[in-house]
Structure formats: C-alpha cells, structure tokens
Amino acid sequence: MNILGLSFDYHDAAAALVVDGVPVAAAAEERFSRLKHDRRLPARSVEFCLKRAGLAAGDLDAVVFYEKPFRKLTRILAGAVSTFPSSGALFRRAMGAWIDERLWVGPRIEAALGVAPEKILYCEHHLSHAASAFLCSPYDDAATLTVDGVGEWATAAIGRGSRAPFRLSLDVEMRYPHSLGLLYSAFTAYLGFEVNEGEYKVMGLAPYGTPRYAEAIRGMIEPFADASFRLDLDWFAFHRDPVRAFSRKFEDAFGPARAPESGDPAGDKRLCDVAASVQLVCEELMLGLAREARRRTGSPNLCLAGGVALNAVSNARLLREAGFGSVWIQPAGGDAGGALGAALYAAHALGKSPARYEMRSVALGPEHTAAEAVEALKAAGLPFVETRGEDDLCERVSGLLAGGKVVGWHQGRSEWGPRALGQRSILADPSPAAMKDTVNAKIKFRELYRPFAPSVCAGAAAEWFELPRDPAPDPYRFMLATARTRPDRRERLAAVTHVDGSSRVQTIDPVQSPLFHRLAESMGRTTGVPAALNTSFNLKGEPIVETPADAVATFLASGMDALAVGPFLTTGRPENPQPRRQTWDSSETPPGASAW
C-alpha cells in the first residue's frame, strides 16, 4: 500500500510517503520553499516524495491528514465561548483563518493532488505523534507518551502500542488549556523569543541562571497525584488573545517581558533565572508524566513524541530517572512528525501485513547529483576540486577543521526533523573555546550565548561524555538528549560544552552514517578528538539548506572557510563576491498561532 501523510496549516508543514509500512521519503516544506516553519499545504514535499518512490498521485491508496480539523474547531469555539467577552480578537483571527482555509482541508488535498475524496483520511493529532514514535521504534510493545502545545483538544496523552497484533491506543489524555507545551511557550514569548521556534533558545539560556522562580511557576500549576495538572489561567492569555500568551500577572511576578529579539538575554540575570526555572519545572512535569505512563502500562519501553519531546535536557533526565529500561524518541517530534505518524498508523490500520520498520537513520529527504553540485559551484564562480574518494574528502576536511577552519558539509539525503545530523551541517573543531563565538558571530549570525553540539564516533562517545550507558541509548543517535562532558575532557571539548558542563551529543553510528563517522574518525587521528562541532547548515532565521545551490548561497552569505558538496571541495571565494544575504523571506506563520 502507498500511503501519504500530510501535516499543514499550523507550522512545519510536511509530507511523508510510506510504502508497505516502510517510510521511503519524508520532508518538511520549508526545505523547498525556503520559508522557515512554512505552514502551507506541502505541495513541493509531496512532489518530492512521489518522485522519490516513482509514483504518481493516482498510485496512492490513501492520503492521511495528521489531525481531525473539525474536532479542533470545536475546541477553538469552546475556548471563545468560555472566555467571552475577552476573546473577540481571537475569535475574529481564528475564524478568519478557518473560513479561508482550515475548514477545507479535504477539498484542498483533493484539488492539490487530484485524489478521490474517499481516499482522504484523518488521524487524531496525538495518535499521529504516538504512531510516529512507536512505529519507528525497535519495540514489540511499549508505552507511548505524547506532549505538545495542543492538538485537537489533547495536550498530552498516555497510550500503549503492540505490533502483533497491531494495536495503538491512547488510554488517557490531558486537555486544553492545561498544557505543558503552552506553559513553556508562554515563557518563550515572555523571554522575547518566537513561539514554536525559540523554545530551544530558552533551553539554551537556562544553564546561565538559577531556578529561583521555580516555586512561583509551580504556583501556576495545580498538580494531581497521577501527574496530571491544571494551569491557573489567571497567568495566561493564550486562551483568549490571538497574539499574547501571558497575562499582566506574569509580568507583575517576574518583571517586564523582554522585547522580541532585543539585546543579549544571557546578560540579564533575571531572564536567565526565569529560563532556568521554567526549564526545571518542565523537567519535573515531564518526569511525572513519564512515570505515570510507566505506572499505567507496566511497560519497560517508552516511545516519546510531540514538540516537548525535543527538549533534550528534559529527555536526558527522563532517560535516567523515569524508570524505563529503554526509551525511543521520534527525531521529528513536532508537528512535521505527525505526517509520518499518520501515514504509518494508516499503513498498519489498513494494510494486510505491513513490513516492520525501525528508524535507524533520518536520511529520508532529497539527494542531489554530482552534476547539480558542479552546476551550483560553477554558477557562483567558486573554484573547486574533486576529491579522490571518501577517505580523501574526510582527510582534507578534517585537516581544514583542525586548522581552525569552518566547513559547510552537504552530503547525501537530507535529514528528517529539525536537527542536522551530518547531511546538512556546518562543522568546526570542537576544542578551542573561541570557536563557539566564531561560529555564532561570523557564520550563523546568532546569539553568542547559544551552545553548539558535538558529533562523536559512537564507539568513543563514553570516553568523552557521561552517558547513561555504553553504547549510548538511541536518542543520542539523533541528538535528542544531553549528557555531561567528562570533567577531564572539557578542555578538549570547550567549544561544545555548555556553561553547566553539558553537551547535546550526537553519537555517530558507523553503519548508518558511514561517511560522517569516517570524518569524525579522521578528526580523531588529526586532533586526538574523534568529534566535530556540528550545527545546522543555515543562517539565523532560515531553514536548513536543501540543494547544492542553497548550500553555495549560504556559504557565500556567511563567513565559512570551505564547503564540501558531495565529493567537491571549495576553499575559495569568487573574485567579485555578491553582497552578503542576511536571510531569505521570513516565515509566513502568523504570530501566536500556537493554539488556534
């Protein structure tokens, strides 16, 4: 069976194609459109998925949308009714968007793909998340925990899955407006970051502070013995305001909110303390929810998804403290991942005997030819050499990195999910402390306080980091959890060790990522550290690059020293460089659209 999963209309539109139970292609629309968090119907992602599989839209057995839109509408109307008369602006904004497009999900899919209406199906939001984790995991049976801002009504759900016979159920759910994701997003907005984009900046800011506001934040929450909770809505505005997430009471307690993207938040102790406090409370709530999932299901395995599952610090605590023997986390934990989950769920619900699938690699995106790379380099007037195979490429690149150069790395199929894991990465030497500032300021043009991640050979990871066990659990393969850098190694990993001694480690598997592993090995031979500083191949505010032409454009727009696209390596610059481009177009996601 050929099943296409789709997510769109909110943020991070994506498409995923599952053939006989196995994902063959998946990509977020932003990679093609160059609009960060592009929310529109992912026509280009669909085109890529079908082309990759050699299919036409007529070959699809089903197209599955990742949530139930009418059920979501009932929640928005209930919210507007319950907060009358202060929800007028929210009602107008939300209904405008719904009348314009969101009510017509089915007809829009029909029009875009030309599929019959009876082939269009709808999978509940949290069921899509749960499927994206369980049906990609190695487990026969597992508990599922999904936590995000909000889907239709649910904001978190505990369920269980089994493969034979197939069953994936949600046992209990917490409902809007009581939401860990929306709590975290309210603080994201308060700290001056964009909701649905800046949550990881809050996580990165937290180690600069002390959690002195944690008690005040706990006071916003009414906890129950079974780890569920209700939010005290006096603190929030997201349920009645289309733009503002927090109420005046918030600022009375924590001081004035930071103006969006203003100044250096790490230089303001109060803001750092607020970030540390909400991060701590988030970890406590997630641990509680995970332990409750364990208690309810009795399973030793946990599958985790939803936007909050991208909180790497919380995940690290969960791996150590939640009581599960094994944890698997969907690398595309946000709404984009819902497209894959919806397609996988349908494949198992409708298919006779779908193949068993385990996600060992996230390389599900497009791949580009050598001819495309050459064309992009030539078009930019860049001098380049063709390396003599992968060993030569890795030796040359590791030599550049060891010499303090920053290298763009564009190899193979692009990654599924928000993390660059060695296919579309900017690489640097992880040792010199100054490298962090260099890459932040000269390459990415982003806030200086933000940390970078190390990618390390899986076999050597335990020598450098304090991992829960050796070999590292699966979430480390996808850069989904932090670990402490061993104290005696911190000097050698100064550029990738955060102020609290932690790192968001990626362990590189030699089988799944042979080229990237070879590069890290080469770094080990050259510098003594089998790792590289690895950050996503983009500039601040832009999607990760997709094509060689995107890579060349970003290379030219930044201060990178070299670029490796496939086997081709350039260290030069054109004689008449183009003016540096700051960003592509900005996101079309409306502000504050997280809840409606």
User: What is the binding site for another protein (CB under 8 A)?
Assistant: 62, 64-65, 68-71, 74, 77-82, 84-85, 88, 91-92, 95-96, 99, 105-106, 121-124, 127, 157-159, 166-178, 224-226, 228-230, 233, 239, 345-346, 348-350
What's the min distance (Å) between Cβ of 131 and another protein?
10
State the minimum distance, in angstroms, from the CB of residue 7 to another protein: 14
Count the Cβ atoms, other than its own, within 10 Å of residue 576: 6
H or E element at residue 284: helix 269-297
> Which element (helix H / strand E) includes 274?
helix 269-297
d(CA 259, CA 467): 38
Residues listed for the chain? 596
Smallest distance from another protein to CB 13, Å: 17
CB of 332 to another protein, least distance (A): 21
Q: Does the active-site annotation cover 129? A: no
Report how far Cα 396 is from the mean position of its chain's Cα atoms.
Answer: 31
Crossing angle of helices 389-402 and 514-527, in 10° steps, is 50
The nearest distance, CB 518 to another protein, in angstroms, is: 43
The residue among 84 and 355 lying less far from another protein, judged by its C-beta, is: 84
Quickly count: other Cβ atoms within 10 Å of residue 521's Cβ. 18
Report the nearest approach of another protein to the CB of residue 521 (Å): 45
The residue among 81 and 441 lying less far from another protein, judged by its C-beta, is: 81
Q: What are phi and psi of 217, to 5 degrees?
A: -70, -40
Q: In what order do the strands lie in the sheet with 62-65?
A: 22-28, 14-19, 2-7, 62-65, 120-122
Continuous segment of H or E residues that includes residue 409: strand 407-410
Q: Which residues of 156-182 are buried (b: 16+ CB within 10 A; e: fewer)?
A: bbbbbbebeeeebebeebbbbbbbbbb
What residues pair up with 453 in beta bridges, in sequence order?
534
Nearer to another protein (CB atom), residue 21 or residue 79:
79
Please say which residue, 79 or 331, places its beta carbon nearer to another protein: 79
Residue 513 near residue 449 (C-beta atoms within 8 A): no
Separation of alpha carbons 118 and 133, rounded Å: 27
55 or 172: CB nearest another protein: 172
Contacts of 101 (CB under 8 A, 6+ apart): 9, 108
Q: How would you classify the pairing of strands 453-457 and 531-536?
A: antiparallel
Nearer to another protein, 239 or 368 (CB): 239
Residues tagged active-site: 11
